[in-house]
Structure formats: structure tokens, C-alpha cells
Structure 1
Amino acid sequence: MSTITIAAHSAQPITVNRLGYGTMRLTGPDVWGEPADRPQALEILKTAVANGVNFLDTADYYGDDVTNRLIAEALHPYPADLVICTKVGATRRPDKSWVPFNTPANLRTSIENNLRTLRQEQVQLVHLRLMGGHGGVPLEEQLGAMFDLQREGKILHVGLSNVGPEELTTGLKMGAIATVENMYGYAQRTTLALPHGLNHGGEEVLGLCEQHGIPLIPFFSLLNSLPKADNKIAEIARKHGATEAQINLAWLLHKSPWLLPIPGTSSLAHLRENLRAAEIQLSAEDMAYLG
């Protein structure tokens, strides 16, 4: 499995294998509550790490606070090379809605909660998730609070999530942005409206990330909204004896060396299938056909 380096030009760069695991699907329905099969959820985390995954993506509002506790239960004390990335800037209500939680005081509360549930003294990488309209709090105020927490040693590296080019440019003027996490996959590359707000696509910021040496972490990469009658990815999947999901991940890995996919699943079988995507070699002709 190839590797990627986060914050390469900082005093404390982090190198991870280039297929991570997103934990959101380990929760109950609607990303709420405990998993239906808790033993399998714990086994998925252990199996992922045992098979070379050393980048986990989580958030204290997954569950609510379910995935952090599962990670700690399954893996603590953590392997030395394991990077746990979390997100702040949002929270959940009992009606399962997603709402901003992004004032400086809110962000501090979220970081303290992540440190407690993950049993860490410092979070290695934290994405500031921007909600629609920034939740009434200017980006500069939110990001300034993140850099304050970084200076206090509670955060090692700061990233941004759900940003367009203007927001990323603003962030870069304020300080070191280690990573960007946006929705991105073969079938979904640009902004998409979801129930909890607009989600910026990876294609919008990939060039800017590459220019500045910033890894782009795609989420919802296995979303497939392609019409079946015009599904080129299915043809490439048949050619390689693979699933469409595997080719989707392989496409991301071949699209740019700055992409770090984090496919999530609640199935041990699907986890193993996703991991095998790193072994698929797409030709230049395959990539040109896929576009």
C-alpha cells in the first residue's frame, strides 16, 4: 500500500498508508446510537489496523460519541503509527438533526470531549467541519479558535472539511492547513445538497491542495449516483474482475497521489473488499476511459 505524508513541511510530519477507514457507519441507523452488531464493529476496527490501516476518521458527533468509544475500546493503547483524525464544528440533536457547534467555546468543548473519549492527551489531526452558512460564526473566528487550541498543544495539526476554494484560500492565509476533507468519488465530484446542508466536492479544491502539498481526504467516496445505462465504472470493474466499489476506490488512488480515501463500512466482508482495492492497477487507458 502506498503512503502519503500529512503536514510534510512542518516540524512534526505524519506519514500514513494511503487507504484509511472512516468510522461513521459503525453507528446505528442515521448515524445515531450504538451499532446493531457491537462485536463486529470492534472486530472491524481491529481487522483494519491489523491489515495496514493506520488512519482512522471519526467525530464525537457520530453516534452520538459512539465511534470514539468504539475506537478506544478496540484499540487502546494505540499502536505507535496509528493516526486518529476527528472533526469538530457540528453536533447532533435528539431528533437526529445536524446543527452547527462552532463558536470558540463550542470548539473547545468538542476537543476536550474527543480527548476524553479517545483517551488521548493530544489529537493528531482535527478537521474544522464548516456547516452551511458557517452557522453564523465567521470562518476566521472558528479557525482562529482552532489555531489557539493547537498552540495550547491539544491539537497537533489543523485541517478543514467541507470547503470550497475561497474558504481554503482564507484558511491558508491564517495558518498551516494540514489536510482537507471533502465529499469526493467517481460519481460525485462537485457540490451536493444533503439534508444537513451543502457538501463541497473534492474536484473544487483538488488543484489547490496539490499546489500546496495538502492531502485531500474524500468522504462518501462510494456514493454511486450514476445511471446504470451509462456506467463506465461497471465496465472497468468487469475487466478487472472487481466490484464497482473497488474500482471507485482505485480510481481515487490513481487520480492523484494527494488523495487519501477513507471508505467506511459496517461489514467485515466489505472492509476486506475495500482494502483489496489498493492492489488494483488501473492503466492510463482505464483512467482516460473513466475520465
Structure 2
Amino acid sequence: FSVLIGTWDRIELLLKLIGHYRESPLVEKIYVTWHNPNAAVPSVLLELGRADNTTTTPQPPVEILPQRTNSLNNRFNPIAGLDTKAVLIVDEDVRIPIKDLALAFRTWRLHPESLTGFFPRRHRKRANGDWDYLLDVKDGYDMMLTKGMFIDAEMLFAYTCLLPLSIHAYVDRMRNCEDIAFNMLASGLTGKMGFSRSSPLFIALVLTPSTVMSNIDDFGTSGISSASGHLESRQSCLGDLIALFGRDNLVSNDLMITRIKEVPVHFKSLDHW
């Protein structure tokens, strides 16, 4: 699979993450979307893209994708020359363990129509018609954050070239919610392809729902999601995007995929029960 990492200017962290994902034998190539149109791509990144893999143990090549505009929609631009069907979209501040990437990739290969990832969310309609955006997924989930998920590469084309321009414009105006739009697209698009509308798939790293993210390093402290009013903005986006799509495409799922863990035995025999 290919890895697609978006960045603005956090170079030191980005270099560490590129090194981390290069350790996976499943990674064919790493793409870096350079989102800052007002700054030249740093030479250290350009040199990384030109690195010679012939003299040492070959590593996945790195390609930098400079953007001409500052838009969250650019996260999902189609990539010329992309050779893999699977793409891991990941934020510059999320480091997923290599073994868990392999689990997620195996799962995605069984369900390539689904967004398969590590950060689930759900929505709920209130009695007054407004929407709640919920981080609590103990009752199920219907969205997967794009900060760490596998997708079919064709979804990049679909988002950029098939979505109405009104949805792209809305994302630009809000400077938020491109991931919600992507989830609605994915579920709605599979419904148009002769399949039932697909739900996302949640890869959990431990068995306890309250600690499912304990094995993923999420260094994000200054991003959009940490800003004041973020949750309220997401809730507004839900209603607005559902109206723009013409219906609520999101499909709920209550499955949690994880590795078998050793179950602790608290009693030595039935006499101690």
C-alpha cells in the first residue's frame, strides 16, 4: 500500500514519521502533501525525495506533492502515478505501530469498499432535528477520521472529481469537516456501485473500549480539532452536509476488530470462584 501524509510545516515530526512508516515491508511508496502554498518545500524533504536507494537496503521512495492553494480538500487529491489500490491516509502527528498497520491492511483487503481505520466517531439526531457529533462509540460508529485509515485509491478521484463543487466550497468556507464529507461520499458511493452502502471498520488495538487508542501515538496539540468551538462546528457540518448530499449516507457499525489477547485468569480453580 501507499502512505499519504499531509503536512503544513512540522518538518522534524514529519521526518520521524516518514522513517517510522518506511519500516513497514508492506509500504510501497510514501507521498507527502505539502499544504502550504506560500512556502517552498524545504530542501530536506526534496533531498529525501531524491534519495538514492541503490547503495543501501532499499526503502520505500518518498514523493512530495506541493499544493497551489490552501484547502483541506487537497488532502484527497488524486495522485498521478499511484500504483497501489490501497492508500493509508494519515496525519503528520499520528504514528501507528507497524504490526497494527498490517492488521488494518489485511482487514481492508477483505472489505475494500470500507474506510478501515483507528479513530471512529458517530452522529445522532436530536428530537429537535439538530445533530450530535459523538466521540463515544460504545453504541457503534458510522464515521472514520481520516487521520488514520485505509481507503481504495479510487476514492481520491471520487472526492475531487465527482463531489459537487458546493461541497468543496463548504469545506473551504468552514475550514473543517472534509473528513465527514469523505465518509458520506464513501458510504453513498458504494450504494451506487451495486453494493449495499458500506460502513466503516474500526481496528481496535486493545480489548477495552475506553483504552482503544493506547497503542497509537497521537501528538496533535495545535491542529483544527484542538481549537475552541471545534465540536460545535462539527455538529453544524453534519446538518449542512446532509442537506448538500440530499440524504444521510452514513451507515452504522458495531464491530471492533482486534488481535486475540491473553485473557487473565483470576481464579485458580472453581473452589476460588
Q: TM-score, normalised to structure 1's length? A: 0.29
- The answer to which structure has the higher helix fraction is 1
Pair member with larger Rg:
2
